[in-house]
Amino acid sequence: MICYAVRNGKLLSVYEVTSSPIKSTKAEINEDPWRERWPWSVQGINLTSIYGSKWWKHDLYLTTLADEYNKKSLNDSLTYRGGRTLGGLNYGSDKIRLSSGFANYLIEKIKKYNE
């Protein structure tokens, strides 16, 4: 799972998901209202914790990297379903499934700063 900052679009970290999705209960949503917007969670291991501890210092913007990838990989898509844009993120979706090629491209960019 590759996480990014919703407001500024920078990549945050890469995680290995270690659980199935966990749905919040009504009681949990009442206790923590933010769970209304994000009612599910997963457990995971941060694979890029060094980078993740200073992500804001690097200019790894999701949209910039998407543009770079599109120019380098003319025959590959950004998303699993074949899309060449991340437009779903602009229209309220806060998660999308990336193509393996684009996901690996992002991971390699992050790894450069994870030392």
Question: What is the separation of C-alpha 73 from the centre of its chain, rounded to a whole number of angstroms?
Answer: 20
Q: Where are the domains of the chain?
A: 2-111
Q: Please give the model's pTM, rounded to 2 decimal places.
A: 0.85
Burial of 26 (0-12, 13-18, 19+ CB in 10 A): exposed
Check pLDDT > 80 for residue 24: yes
pLDDT digits (tens, 9 = 90+) for 32-56: 999 998 899 999 999 999 999 999 9
pLDDT digits (tens, 9 = 90+) for 53-103: 999 999 999 999 999 999 998 778 998 877 777 776 666 667 789 999 999
Mind giving me the DSSP string for 9-74? -BEEEEEEE-S--EEPPHHHHHHSGGGGTS-EE--EEETTHHHHTTGGGS--BHHHHHHHHHHH-T
The per-residue pLDDT for 37 is 87
The per-residue pLDDT for 90 is 62
Check pLDDT > 70 for residue 8: yes
